[in-house]
Amino acid sequence: MTDNIPDMWFNKLFSGRAMNVPRSEIRELLKLLERPDVISFAGGIPHADMFPSDRIRQAYDRLFGTTDTWHRALQYSTSEGYPPLREWIASYLTDQPTPWTKENIIVTSGSQQALDLLARLFISPGERIAFTRPSYLGALQVLRFYQPEFVAIDEDDEGILIEPLIAALDKGLKFIYLIPDFNNPTGISLSLRRREQVIDLALARGVPIIEDLAYVHLRYNGENIPTLGTLALRRLNSQGSEHTPIVQIGTFSKSICPGLRIGWVRAASVVIDHLTVLKQSVDLHASTINQMVVADILTDSFDTCIQKEKAFYRLRMEAMLDALKRYFPRNISWTMPEGGFFVWVNLPEGLDGSRLLESAVTNYKVAFVPGGAFYCDGTGKNTLRLSFSGNEVAEIQEGIMRMGELLHKELCVPKVPKHAIHATSKHL
> Where in 70-129 is the site for its own copies (CB under 8 A)?
70-79, 108-110, 112-113, 116, 120-124
Query: Which listed range, 97-105, 140-148, 184-192, 411-419, lies at the site for its own copies (CB under 8 A)?
Result: 140-148
By CB under 8 A, tell whether 48 contacts its own copies: yes
| Residue 31 CB, nearest approach to its own copies (Å) | 8
- The size of the chain, in residues, is 428
By CB under 8 A, tell whether 400 contacts its own copies: no
By CB under 8 A, tell whether 397 contacts its own copies: no
H/E run at residue 209:
strand 209-212
| Residue 122 CB, nearest approach to its own copies (Å) | 6
CB of 338 within 8 A of CB of 98? Answer: no
H/E run at residue 211:
strand 209-212
| Residue 357 CB, nearest approach to its own copies (Å) | 21
Q: Which of residues 259-318 bind its own copies (CB under 8 A)?
A: 259-261, 268, 270-271, 274, 277-278, 280-290
Vertex 13 angle, CA 9 and 18, to 5°: 130
Q: Which is nearer to its own copies, 226 or 258 (CB)?
A: 258
Q: Which is nearer to its own copies, 32 or 413 (CB)?
A: 32
Q: Which is nearer to its own copies, 115 or 356 (CB)?
A: 115
> Which neighbouring-strand residues pair with 219?
339
> Which neighbouring-strand residues pair with 383?
346
3-state helix, strand, coil in the chain (%, to 5): 45, 15, 40
Longest dimension (CA), the chain: 71
CB of 344 within 8 A of CB of 385? Answer: yes
Q: Which is nearer to its own copies, 62 or 409 (CB)?
A: 62
Exposed e or buried b per residue across 33-61, where buried means at least 16 C-beta atoms within 10 angstroms of its C-beta:
beeeebbbbbbbebbeebbbeebbeebee
Query: Which listed range, 205-213, 214-222, 363-371, 406-414, lies at the site for its own copies (CB under 8 A)?
Result: 205-213
Q: Which is nearer to its own copies, 4 or 362 (CB)?
A: 4
| Residue 372 CB, nearest approach to its own copies (Å) | 19
| Residue 280 CB, nearest approach to its own copies (Å) | 6
By CB under 8 A, tell whether 416 contacts its own copies: no
Report the C-alpha gap between 198 and 289 in whole angstroms: 39
Residue from the set 32, 35, 57, 192 that interacts with its own copies by CB under 8 A: 57
By CB under 8 A, tell whether 145 contacts its own copies: yes
How many residues touch its own copies under the rule CB under 8 A: the total is: 94
Asked if the bond preceding 97 is cis, omega within 30° of 0, the reply is: yes
By CB under 8 A, tell whether 412 contacts its own copies: no
By CB under 8 A, tell whether 23 contacts its own copies: yes
Phi, psi for 45 (deg, rounded to 5): -105, 155
